[in-house]
Structure 1
Amino acid sequence: MKNIALLIVDVQTALIDEHPYNQDQFIKNINDLISEARKNNKEVIFVRHDDGEGSELALGAPGWEIYKDLHVLPADKIFEKQYNSAFHKTDLDAYLKSKDIDTLVIMGLQTEYCIDATLKQAFSLDYEVLIPKDTNTTFDNDYLSGEKLYEFYNKNIWAGRFGEVLEVEVVKEKLTKVRQI
């Protein structure tokens, strides 16, 4: 690892207001990692989904805002996206390369949609991907609970294939050991 950054995807008011699986632990863990990253001069990057006019996630709508309990600073870089992957038709990859970032700690919503797409595209772009436990989440659907979806993706799809699924404390240690931005 040369340089590491946090990538926090779609933790937006409208989504949190729907109460995803493990919501409180999810927010706590993300904030703990944000604090650790800042303490170690690591970049914290947010991604916000714009679902188009008329949606709760429409650009500028109250639900589109980054969730109020996250520790966002005015200087934090925020990317807007309209597709599942935070990389698709955004300048995220160019920005990360300009900062010599090669390792991403990926967190956010929803496990089976935007996190899965972002994580797999990060992997295909040769980023090292770290997935802290209990920092991605989703909702129950017609087939599986949010908890089952979380477990399936974290344990069966991503771990050892597209990234490392690690305890939050292990990721905190990694944030102290790599080069500063």
Structure 2
Amino acid sequence: MTTLEERPNTALLVIDVQNQVVEHAWDRDGVIGRINTLVERARAEDVPVVWVQHSDDQMPRDSDGWQYVPELVRHESEPVVHKRYGDSFEDTDLESLLAERQVGRLVVTGAQTDACIRSTLHGALVRGYDATLVEDAHTTEDLRQWGVPVSPEQVIAHTNTYWSWSDAPGRTGDVTPAAEVDFGPR
């Protein structure tokens, strides 16, 4: 249960599913398909969908690589959070958008598992949110050529395992497959 007072709602976060970010991602099409299904379910259940979009020197704002993948379409009524750091809360308006919608629990999807997904999960938990990682709706690319000693599948499995044990006083982290996500309040 969230430690945020009078924040019973859940929101779906779709983090950095941008052309350049997922170009070489593991199970790219499968992950995007599951995210699309979650977006449709959230909309049908009047659950806020919040889109997060990263930019930096290697992926400048408004470039082709910066754009969200064409398979995912944001509705005009759905907010987009622009960020420059891994944690989607850091130096953004994410917290105020969630507060306006009385959100105390996040369902997290997107890319990359070992960067912005992990950073945002930890950022949410320390700020008082419950955070559900969707087990099969986050991805990363193979970084072994840059010294990461494990495959993308192992990075994803490790993140799923350790996040399922994450908690703090009055709040929890958990992991759920896309087909079993419950957007209801905790």
RMSD between aligned residues = 1.5
Preserved contact between residue 22 and residue 141 of structure 2 (Cα < 8 Å): no
Aligned to 1:13: 19
Tell me which amino acid in the other structure corresponds to 1:151: A
> Once the 2 structures are TM-superposed, how far is the Cα of residue 178 of structure 1 from its aligned partner?
3.7
- Write 1 or 2 for the structure with the bigger share of helix: 1
Q: Report the Cα distance in structure 1 between the residues aligned to 2:28 and 2:23, rounded to whole angstroms.
A: 10
Distance of 2:163 and 2:31 partners within structure 1: 18
2:180 to 164, 170, 178: 170
Which whole-Å CA distance do the structure 1 matches of 2:69 and 2:112 have between them?
14
Question: 1: distance between equivalents of 2:73 and 2:40?
Answer: 8
Q: Which segments of structure 1 move beyond 3 Å, counting only runs of 4 or more?
A: none
Match of 2:119 in 1: 117
User: Matched residues in 2 for 1:71 and 1:127: separation?
Assistant: 26
Q: Is the 8 A contact 1:102 1:128 kept in 2?
A: yes
Q: Contact between 1:22 and 1:134, CA under 8 Å: does it hold in 2? A: no
| Shift, 1:16, TM fit | 2.2
CA distances 1:102-146 after superposition (whole Å, capped 9, x unpaired): 010011111010000000000111111111121111011221111
TM-score of the aligned structures, taking structure 2 as reference length: 0.87
Indicate the percent of aligned positions where both proteins have the same amino acid: 30
Letter in 1 for 2:56: D
| More strand, by proportion | 2
The number of residues matched between the two structures is 171
The gaps in structure 2 that reach 5 residues or longer are 2-7, 168-172
- The TM-score, its normalising length taken from structure 1, stands at 0.89
